[in-house]
């Protein structure tokens, strides 16, 4: 008998027993729905991390002053830093796998506009900062080399700062005060949302590095805090880091057995660690849901076994008119597979709906991808084969005479 | 006619449809052996109409199941159309059964909740006949049984006689050389019994189909050309029906006999 005929016969038999078929597939429906919803949740978390990585700026490497293991200089900022603008310039010059370098200095302070004020981080950096972080302005402009050279009294606001100081008003062209320095707002940055670490990246103000160093903090004009470096691509991050280390060690006159007096951090590694957590979450959620799918499969097997017993006479009749073992085996197998695939398809629909309801009610990001759906259908079909095989084989091995006599 | 074509592919008429040599079937029942059939040797010619009689439990059904390859012998030999079928595996038996044997049972054995048409199509499905041809042949077979207006009826919507005619249509649709009927009229009233037997006679005479039927009734057995009597798993009588048995329907071979 052709597979198509088998399928038609199977579907007709299933239609004939609607209620039982429905109850049989219920387990599969629930199992697949659970898998789809849980994986959508996990995938949502993953894509969240992925977009965080993107918001960080691609291929970002941080250069931090002071070796992390050296007590006393840890977290050094501004004047206490041992990184100089010269070091940073050398990196840009000597490491071929670097596309942009942005030295930064950071102070925290109050930004005042009229009677409104807001505490935030004030970053000083070069125009390269916007490239390295792949951060554009939503309105206005960024500062350029000219403003940097002249230590111009201008600033670019993060979205959060702009919202809190100006509300609906247009900040461009207005003057705010930070550390008693009047700064003209020339731009507002695009919102970036939360960082990998979970803090608000838009709660920031950017000024030219020279402005920060010369007008807002005393001390050396040469030292910088953290430098942000963009590697030319994801593949060159490791090479860039090795070269950067060599350049900095040389410039800092370190002997081969000296520890680094700086540290390099690949932000993508941190992001990747987070992504791994999301992966594990996905797998765990999927596994828990998979167990319910397994239970659904056992349900199918149970009903198929009952069905074989109930239909013993039918099997005998089929054998008496020439059905071979294989024909009977396939018939029951096709029935089981049709049932569980049907259940799988229904489960996908319900799972997708459940995921979107979950997202709407809890705010957790979810992501439904067709790949998971395809896998779910394939898995439920395999469950049909796996759990349908034993009953089908039982049916195919019945003795024709006994089966015909059965009542 | 279609059966001419079919006969061309068959072994010569001299080869008996059925030949058994000390055919035996024993069942192991909880350590004890039941000898349902204790060595039956006989031969049945093409186009013959044979009745098998005997007391309940004498082994008639066991014998029929062996002839129809539903069951396998535990001793002796069975030749179907001259081919040794004693030691075939399940699938080989299923193939021959589907191609050469049609069964008619006392309990009809139709698939319930399945239309007459689909029931008759069933043997062709397993024989690999295409969908369109299946339909055409099933309709023709049912029409030949006078059921042209009952194609979509399911068994529960049919009378006993009609159900048995559906079963006969199903048994014949693959054009078997052997029709095995185990008490086919056991559940039928006398009018329907006559109808069914007249049909069997017609099949044997006009289409050369070999009919073997099991019955408890003398007037049914008397329709046959030959009566084989079983007792305790062996043949105790084989020959013409006793003259005192009155056949329910007449057959051509009755002509020469003394009524
Ligand atoms: N599967 C089996 N296991 C054990 N014994 C069996 C089996 N099938 C048949 N028998 C035995 O074989 C003997 C012959 O049975 P069979 O069914 O052939 O009788 P029968 O002549 O057809 O009787 P009836 O006229 O009642 O149909 C009986 O004694 C029966 O109990
Ligand atoms: Mg019997």
The preferred substitution site among B58, B214, B234 for testing ligand 1, maximizing ligand atoms within 8 Å of CB, is B58
- Residue A1 binned pLDDT confidence (cut-offs 50, 70, 90): low
CA gap B33, A193 in Å, rounded: 85
Element (DSSP H or E) covering residue A311: none
Q: What pLDDT is attached to residue B9?
A: 52
Q: Do B65 and A1 touch (CB under 8 A)?
A: no
Task: Give residue A257's pLDDT.
Answer: 87
Q: Among partner residues B95, B109, B113, which is closest to A317 by beta-carbon distance?
A: B109
pLDDT at B102 over 90: yes
| B168 → chain A, closest CA residue | A321
Q: Tell me the nearest-neighbour CA distance from B90 into chain A, angstroms.
A: 7
Residue A198: pLDDT over 70: no
* A311: its two tokens: 């239909």
A342 close to A387: Cβ distance less than 8 angstroms: no
- Answer whether B58 contacts ligand 1 (Cβ < 6 A): yes
CA–CA distances in Å: residue A359 to residues A37, A45, A47, A52, A363: 10, 11, 14, 19, 5
Choice between B185 and A35, residue whose per-residue pLDDT is larger? B185
Q: In chain B, which residue's Cα lies nearest the Cα of A315?
A: B111
How far is the centre of ligand 1, averaged over its atoms, from the C-alpha of B64 (Å)?
A: 11
First to last CA, chain B: 34
Q: Regarding predicted confidence, which is higher, B237 or A372?
A: B237
Q: Is the ipTM of this complex over 0.90?
A: yes
Report the pLDDT value the prediction gives residue A197, as an integer from 0 to 100: 64
> A90-94, A344-348, A359-363: which has the minimum mean pLDDT?
A359-363
* Separation between Cα atoms, residue A327 and residue A9, nearest integer Å: 12
Q: What pLDDT is attached to residue B213?
A: 96
pLDDT band at A237 (very low <50, low <70, confident <90, very high): confident
- Report, as an integer, the average pLDDT of A258-274: 79
Shortest CA distance to A191 belongs to which of A136, A112, A126, A131? A136
B25 lines ligand 1 (CB under 6 A): no
HEC assignment per residue over chain B: CHHHHHHHCCCCCCCCCEEEEEEEEEEEECCEEEEEEEEEEEEECCCCEEEEEECCCCCHHHHHHHHCCCCCCCEEEEEECCEECCCCCHHHHHHHHHHHEEEEECCCCCCCCCCHHHHHHHHHHHHCCCHHHHHHHHHHHHHHCCCCCCCCCCHHHCCHHHHHHHHHHHHHCCCCCEEEEECCCCCCCHHHHHHHHHHHHHHHHHHCCEEEEECCCHHHHCCCCEEEEEECCEEEEEECCCCCCCCCCCCHHHCCCCC
Helix, strand or coil, per DSSP, at residue A174: coil
Closest CA to A383 of A16, A18, A32: A32
User: Could you tell me which residue, A284 or B153, shows the higher pLDDT?
Assistant: B153
Average pLDDT, integer, range A293-311 = 86
Q: Does the Cβ of B62 fall within 6 Å of ligand 1?
A: yes
A55 three-class SS: helix
Evaluate: CB of B93 within 6 angstroms of ligand 1. Answer: no
Q: How many C-beta neighbours within 10 Å does residue A141 have?
A: 12
Say how far apart CA B160 and CA B189 lie, in whole Å: 9
Other C-beta atoms closer than 10 Å to the C-beta of B240 total 13
Q: Encode A363-396: b = buried (16+ Cβ within 10 Å), e = exposed.
A: eebbbbeeebbebbbebbbebbebbbbebbebbb
| Dist. CA B34 → ligand 1 center (Å) | 9
Above 70 in pLDDT, residue B6?
no
Distances (CA, A) of B9 to A29, A137, A328, B12, B13: 53, 89, 29, 9, 11
Long-range contacts of B87-94 (CB under 8 A, 24+ apart): B90/A324, B90/A325, B91/A324, B91/A325, B91/A326, B93/B69, B94/A319, B94/A322, B94/A323, B94/A324, B94/A325, B94/B69, B94/B126
Q: Is A317 in contact with B94 (Cβ distance < 8 A)?
A: no
Question: What average pLDDT does range B231-238 have in this prediction?
Answer: 96
**CATH number attached to the domain at B2-254:** 3.40.50.300
pLDDT tens figures, A96-153: 998 889 999 888 889 999 888 899 999 999 999 998 888 889 999 999 999 888 999 9
Q: What is the pLDDT of residues A21-30, one digit of tens each?
A: 888 888 889 8
Residue of B72, B113, B120, B125 best to disrupt the A interface, most CBs of A under 10 A: B125
Task: Report chain B residues touching chain A, CB-CB < 8 A.
Answer: 65, 68, 70-71, 90-91, 94-95, 97-99, 103, 105, 109-111, 113, 122-123, 125-128, 131, 170, 174
Evaluate whether A295 touches A340 at the Cβ level (below 8 Å).
Answer: no
Write down the H helix ranges in A225-324: 237-251, 267-310, 312-320
Around A299, how many Cα atoms within 13 Å sit in the side-chain half-sphere? 22
pLDDT tens-digit series, residues A28-72: 898 889 888 888 888 887 777 777 666 666 688 888 887 444 444
Q: Is B38 in the pocket of ligand 1 (CB under 6 A)?
A: no
Calpha distance B184→B168 (Å, rounded): 9
* Atom of ligand 1 minimally distant from the CA of B58: 21
Instruction: Compute, in angstroms, the gap from residue A194 CA to the centroid of ligand 1.
Output: 82
Q: What is the pTM of this model?
A: 0.71
* Best mutation target, B28, B61, B70, B127, to test chain A (most A CBs within 10 A): B70
Nearest CA to ligand 1 atom 28: B57
Q: Using one digit for the tens of pLDDT, what is the confidence trace for B56-98?
A: 999 999 999 999 999 999 999 999 999 999 999 999 999 999 9
Distance from CA of A331 to the nearest CA of B (A): 12
Q: Which residue has the higher pLDDT, A357 or B9?
A: A357
Here the tokens at position B143 are: 């029409």
Nearest-CA residue of chain A relative to B109? A317
- Cα B220 to ligand 1 centroid, rounded to whole Å: 21
Cross-chain residue pair B91–A325, CB shorter than 8 Å? yes
Is residue A77 predicted with pLDDT exceeding 80?
A: no
At B258, the pLDDT band (50, 70, 90 cuts) reads low
Q: Whose CA is nearest to atom 20 of ligand 1?
A: B57
Choice between A284 and B210, residue whose per-residue pLDDT is larger: B210
Q: Can you say whether residue A350 is alpha, beta or left, with left for phi > 0 and alpha for psi between -120 and 50 degrees?
A: alpha
Smallest CA separation from ligand 1 atom 5, residue: B27
Which of B94, B110, B174 lies closest to A319 in CB terms? B94
Report the residue of A10, A322, A399, A406 to disrupt the B interface, i.e. the one with the largest count of B CBs within 10 Å. Answer: A322
Alpha carbons B81 and B77: distance in angstroms, whole number: 13
Judged by CB atoms closer than 8 Å, whether chains meet at A324 and B95 is answered as yes
Please count the other Cβ atoms lying within 10 Å of the Cβ belonging to residue A160. Answer: 17
Test mutation, B102, B126, B163, B166, chain A, max A CBs within 10 A: B126
Of the residues B23, B38, B57, which should be mutated to test ligand 1's pocket, given the most ligand atoms within 8 Å of the CB? B57
**How much is the CA Rg of chain A, to the nearest whole Å?**
33
pLDDT digits (tens, 9 = 90+) for B131-176: 999 999 999 999 999 999 999 999 999 999 999 999 999 999 999 9
Find the helix or strand (DSSP H, E) in which A160 lies. helix A159-166
CA-wise closest residue to A242 among A387, A350, A98, A32: A98
For A324, the closest of B94, B109, B131 (CB atoms) is B94
- Identify the nearest ligand to the CA of B52 by its number: 1
If you measure from the C-alpha of residue A389 to the centroid of ligand 1, how many angstroms do you get, rounded to a whole number?
Answer: 33
Average pLDDT over residues A255-280: 80
pLDDT at A153: 93
Pairwise CB contact (< 8 Å): B91 & A323: no
pLDDT of residue B71: 95
Ligand 2 center from residue B106 Cα (angstroms): 9
């Amino acid at each position: 008998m052709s597979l198509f005929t088998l399928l038609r016969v199977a579907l007709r038999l299933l239609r004939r027993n609607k209620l039982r078929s429905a109850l049989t597939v219920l387990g599969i429906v629930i199992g697949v729905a659970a898998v789809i919803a849980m994986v959508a949740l996990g995938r949502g978390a993953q894509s969240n991390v992925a977009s965080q990585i993107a918001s960080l700026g691609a291929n970002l490497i941080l250069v931090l002053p002071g070796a992390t293991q050296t007590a006393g200089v840890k977290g050094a900022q501004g004047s206490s830093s041992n990184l100089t603008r010269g070091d940073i310039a050398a990196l840009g010059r000597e490491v071929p796998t670097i596309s942009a370098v942005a030295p930064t200095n950071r102070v925290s302070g109050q930004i005042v506009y009229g009677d409104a004020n807001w505490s935030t981080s004030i970053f000083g950096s070069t125009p390269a900062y916007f490239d390295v972080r792949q951060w554009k302005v939503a309105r206005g402009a960024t500062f350029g080399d000219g403003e940097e050279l002249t230590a111009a009294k201008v600033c670019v606001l993060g979205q959060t700062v702009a919202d809190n100081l100006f509300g609906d008003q247009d900040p461009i062209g207005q003057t705010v005060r930070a550390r008693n320095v009047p700064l003209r707002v020339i731009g507002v940055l695009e919102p970036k949302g939360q960082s990998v670490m979970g803090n608000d990246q838009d709660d920031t103000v950017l000024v030219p590095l020279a402005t920060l160093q010369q007008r807002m903090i005393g001390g050396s004009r040469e030292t910088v805090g953290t430098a942000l470096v963009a590697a030319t691509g994801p593949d060159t991050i490791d090479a860039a880091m090795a070269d950067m280390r060599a350049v900095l060690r040389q410039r800092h006159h370190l002997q081969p057995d000296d520890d680094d007096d700086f540290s390099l951090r690949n932000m993508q590694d941190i992001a990747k660690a987070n992504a791994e957590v999301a992966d594990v979450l996905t797998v765990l959620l999927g596994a828990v849901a998979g167990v319910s799918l397994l239970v659904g499969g056992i349900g199918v097997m149970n009903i198929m076994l009952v069905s074989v017993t109930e239909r013993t006479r039918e099997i005998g009749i089929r054998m008496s008119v020439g059905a071979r073992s294989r024909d009977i085996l396939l018939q029951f197998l096709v029935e089981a597979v049709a049932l569980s695939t049907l259940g799988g398809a229904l489960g996908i629909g319900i799972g997708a709906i459940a995921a979107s309801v979950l997202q709407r009610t809890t705010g957790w990001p979810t992501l439904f991808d067709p790949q998971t759906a395809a896998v779910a259908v394939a898995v439920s079909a395999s469950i049909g084969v796996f759990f349908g095989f034993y009953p089908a084989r039982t049916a195919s091995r019945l003795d024709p005479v006994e089966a015909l006599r059965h009542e | 006619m279609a059966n001419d074509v079919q006969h061309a592919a068959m072994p010569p008429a001299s080869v008996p449809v059925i030949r058994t040599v000390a055919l035996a079937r024993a069942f192991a029942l909880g350590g004890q052996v039941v000898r349902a059939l204790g060595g039956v040797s006989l031969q049945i010619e093409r186009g013959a109409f044979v009745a098998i009689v005997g007391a309940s439990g004498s082994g008639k059904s066991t014998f029929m199941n062996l002839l129809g390859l539903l069951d396998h012998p535990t001793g002796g030999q069975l030749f179907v159309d001259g081919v040794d079928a004693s030691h075939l595996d399940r699938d080989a038996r299923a193939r021959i059964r589907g191609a050469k044997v049609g069964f008619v049972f006392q309990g009809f054995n139709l698939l319930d909740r399945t239309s007459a048409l689909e029931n008759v199509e069933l043997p062709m499905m397993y024989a690999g006949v295409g969908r369109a041809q299946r339909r055409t042949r099933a309709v023709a077979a049912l029409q030949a049984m006078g059921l042209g207006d009952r194609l979509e009826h399911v068994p529960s919507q049919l009378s006993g006689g009609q159900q048995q005619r559906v079963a006969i249509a199903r048994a014949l649709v693959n054009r078997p050389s052997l029709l095995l009927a185990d008490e086919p009229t056991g559940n039928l009233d006398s009018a329907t019994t006559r109808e069914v037997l007249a049909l069997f006679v017609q099949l044997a005479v006009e289409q050369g189909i070999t009919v073997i039927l099991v019955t408890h009734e003398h007037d049914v057995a008397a329709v046959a050309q030959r009566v084989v009597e079983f007792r305790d798993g062996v043949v105790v009588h084989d020959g013409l029906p006793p003259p005192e048995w009155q056949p329910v329907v007449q057959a051509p071979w009755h002509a020469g006999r003394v009524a």
